[in-house]
């Protein structure tokens, strides 16, 4: 009987992780786990996000003082800053996050893998719930008003 149960038992699908930035798969035991607050607190990240091919037109519009571009950049910031789950970041993207303790982020990722995806680091959740209002607003101002300025020619 036990043999038949083991034979027909549903297997759990293998735990997988994918970098939300590059969409590349992250092998088990690797990657860096960041909170949303850590992600949004990066100038390099916002410069990249606001100058991607899909967002560059909004950035150009914003710097031409067109309100629709600024509104879209604000929506982009809201989209990323309200992510509740932690981010599993690939080795190729961790350099975008200058203020992050990489050793700690790697340790969090290992704990996530070991717990089969159950581990959630402290300070997870929407950045506006985790960061103090002043810090959150400073990062929002950078992301919406300044990010990508040096990559735009008008």
12-59: pLDDT as tens digits = 678 999 999 999 999 999 999 999 999 999 999 999 999 999 999 999
Answer yes or no: pTM beyond 0.85: yes
Q: Which two tokens stand for residue 61?
A: 């519009």
Assigned domain for 2 exists? no
Assigned domain for 59 exists? yes
Strand partners, 88: 33
60-69: pLDDT as tens digits = 999 999 999 9
Assigned domain for 1 exists? no
* Tally of domains in the chain: 1
Q: Which two tokens stand for residue 58?
A: 């909004």
Nearest-angstrom CA–CA distance, 84 and 82: 6
Assigned domain for 10 exists? no
69-115: pLDDT as tens digits = 999 999 999 999 999 999 999 999 999 999 999 999 999 999 999 99
Assigned domain for 51 exists? yes
Long-range Cβ contacts of 128-133 (<8 Å, 24+ apart) = 128/81, 128/82, 130/35, 130/36, 130/37, 131/37, 131/41
Pair type for strands 32-34 and 25-26: unpaired
Q: Which two tokens stand for residue 119?
A: 């581990």
Domain that holds residue 124: 17-151
Assigned domain for 8 exists? no
Assigned domain for 6 exists? no
Q: Could you write out the three-class secondary structure of the chain?
A: CHHHHHHHCCCCCCCCEECCCCCCEECCCCCEEECHHHHHCCHHHHHHHCCCCCCHHHHHHHHCCCHHHHHHHHHHHHHHHCCCCCEEECCCCHHHCCCCCHHHHHHHHHHHHHCCCCCCCCCCCCHHHHCCHHHHHHHHHHHHHHCCHHHCCC
Assigned domain for 76 exists? yes
Per-residue pLDDT at 153: 83
Triad 48, 128, 148: Cα angle to 5°: 20
């Amino acid at each position: 009987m036990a043999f038949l149960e083991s034979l027909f038992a549903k297997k759990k699908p293998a735990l997988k992780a994918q970098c939300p930035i590059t969409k590349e798969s992250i092998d088990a035991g690797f990657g860096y786990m960041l909170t949303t607050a850590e992600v949004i607190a990066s100038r390099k990240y916002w410069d990249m996000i606001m100058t991607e091919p899909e967002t560059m037109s909004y950035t150009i519009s914003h710097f031409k003082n067109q309100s629709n571009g600024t509104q879209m950049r604000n929506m982009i910031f809201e989209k990323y800053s309200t992510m509740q789950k932690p981010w599993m970041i690939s080795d190729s993207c961790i350099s975008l996050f200058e203020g992050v303790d990489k050793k700690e982020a790697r340790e969090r990722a290992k704990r996530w893998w070991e717990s089969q995806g159950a581990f959630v680091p402290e300070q997870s959740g929407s950045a506006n719930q985790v960061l103090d209002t002043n810090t959150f607003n400073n990062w929002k101002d950078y992301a919406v008003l300044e990010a990508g300025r040096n990559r735009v020619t008008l």
